[in-house]
A = this chain, B = another copy of it.
Amino acid sequence: MSSRRLTTTSYAILGLLATRPWSTYELANQLRRALHFFWPRAESNLYAEPKRLVAAGLAESREEWNGDRKRTVYSITDRGRSSLEEWLATDVPPVRVESEAYLRILFGNMGSKDDVLRALRRIEDDAVAMSRHYVQLGGEYTRGDGPFPDRIHVNALLVSLAVAQGKATQAWARAARADVERWEDAAIPDVDWAVKRLLDAIGEDGATAAP
């Protein structure tokens, strides 16, 4: 019946619809709010997905009137709910991280010190933005302002994940920036410093283990 196999993004939308019905526009906002940091997608994409779900019988659409303005509201069907449950029971693929900043540091010795510092600042800014976002979200729930009180437990897990990763990354970035500021030049390694930092990072086990 469905012309195309569902993608993870389809299930992401379906999961949102399982919480409550949304208009396409609200869906786009929710995607930014809930998924931006761990399942980023361009908003323009979001206008085709729900239609695919409807075609597959997993969602329904109805016209609603918001004042004088028409909008399409999507809701999940029973088949949609069981499809979502089936998906939740499947294997979980590994995470995928794409960090250009990492590349800039990897090849940092071929550029300037400032290039490396800019990459570090980018990593720090990203981490700050993520922490901030989730601290705010978490704050709403602790104050009882959370939009979906019955989702507080899963949100607690995700908020603590994002904040833990964000804080760790920020701490690393700040220390790294201070260190790099003291570099002579990006092309010239300070071997003593590097070895100390490596030992610090990997601990005794990594330093002595056989290859």
Contacts and interface: CB of A to CB of B under 8 A. Distances in A.
Interface of A: 8, 11-12, 15, 18, 34-35, 37-40, 81, 84-85, 88-89, 91-112, 115-116, 118-119, 122-123, 125-126, 134-136, 138-143, 145, 149-161, 163-165, 167-169, 171-172, 176, 179-180, 183, 187, 189-191, 193-195, 197-203, 205-209, 211
Contacts of A200: 160
B183 A172 contact: no
18 contacts: A38-B98, A40-B96, A84-B107, A88-B107, A94-B122, A95-B98, A109-B154, A116-B154, A135-B202, A138-B202, A139-B208, A141-B194, A142-B198, A143-B207, A151-B189, A154-B189, A164-B169, A165-B168
Contact of A97 (B38, B119, B153, B189): B38
Copies in the complex: 2
Given A84-B111, A95-B122, A116-B154, 11 more contacts: A15-B103, A38-B103, A93-B122, A116-B157, A142-B202, A152-B191, A157-B179, A159-B198, A159-B201, A161-B172, A165-B165
Nearest to A127: B95
Contact of A96 (B98, B112, B211): B98
A105 B157 contact: yes
Contact of A211 (B102, B111, B145): B145
Contacts of A209: 136, 139
Nearest to A132: B206
A192 B176 CA distance: 38
A164 B118 CA distance: 20
A169 B158 contact: no
A33 to B, nearest CB: 11
A109 B150 contact: yes
Nearest to A203: B135
A24 B81 CA distance: 47
Contacts of A167: 168
A205 B138 CA distance: 11
